[in-house]
Amino acid sequence: MPNRLRRWGLIGAALAAAALFTTPTSATERVTMIEQLRIYEIFESNKEAFHARFRDHAARIMKTYGFDIAAMWEARTKDRTEFIYVLRWPDEATMRQSWASFMQDAEWSAIKERTSAEHGRLVGGIEERVMQRTSYSP
């Protein structure tokens, strides 16, 4: 139980920090925009390869499909290492379409195949939360 509480504490801290980077510019934008929290389990044995792949390839390719990365973190709990990031989207339909396009990208598929062959599995479990701000969120 303490690990679970610690993990949720890390998620809360990540969301609070993301709020600093994701301030909507209008009331309409505040109501319609969504944010997506992504948490990847990564492995100490090859985390540098994961970070290189995300930094040099995934983030670049994601931008071509409209991904707006607000912030990224690495967190360590007693049991695992996590890569956490927050994405900003105008709406859920755009988010879903952008993810579908990214996952079908030929360059990304080739990079994943090559880096997995070189370094082994780079990502364990993946968690996702799609979040919409409350009307009283700063």
Domain boundaries along the sequence of the chain: 2-132
Pick the residue with more confidence: 93 or 6?
93
Q: Which CATH architecture fits 2-132?
A: 2-Layer Sandwich (3.30)
The per-residue pLDDT for range 14-72, each reduced to its tens digit, is 544 444 444 555 454 555 799 999 999 999 999 999 999 999 999 999 999 999 999 99
Is residue 100 within a helix (H) or strand (E), and if so which, with residue range? helix 92-103
Instruction: Please give the pLDDT value at position 16.
Output: 47
pLDDT band of 84, cuts 50, 70, 90: very high
* Percent of the residues in the chain that have a pLDDT greater than 70, as a whole number: 78
Q: How many Cβ atoms from other residues are within 10 Å of residue 86's Cβ? A: 23
- The answer to whether residue 131 scores a pLDDT higher than 90 is yes
Q: Is 121 helix (H, G, I), strand (E, B) or coil?
A: coil
Instruction: Please give the pLDDT value at position 21.
Output: 46
DSSP 129: E
From CA 66, how far away is CA 74, in angstroms rounded? 23
pLDDT band of 2, cuts 50, 70, 90: low
- The rounded mean pLDDT for the chain is 87
pLDDT band of 137, cuts 50, 70, 90: confident
Instruction: Please give the pLDDT value at position 92.
Output: 96
- The answer to whether residue 82 scores a pLDDT higher than 90 is yes
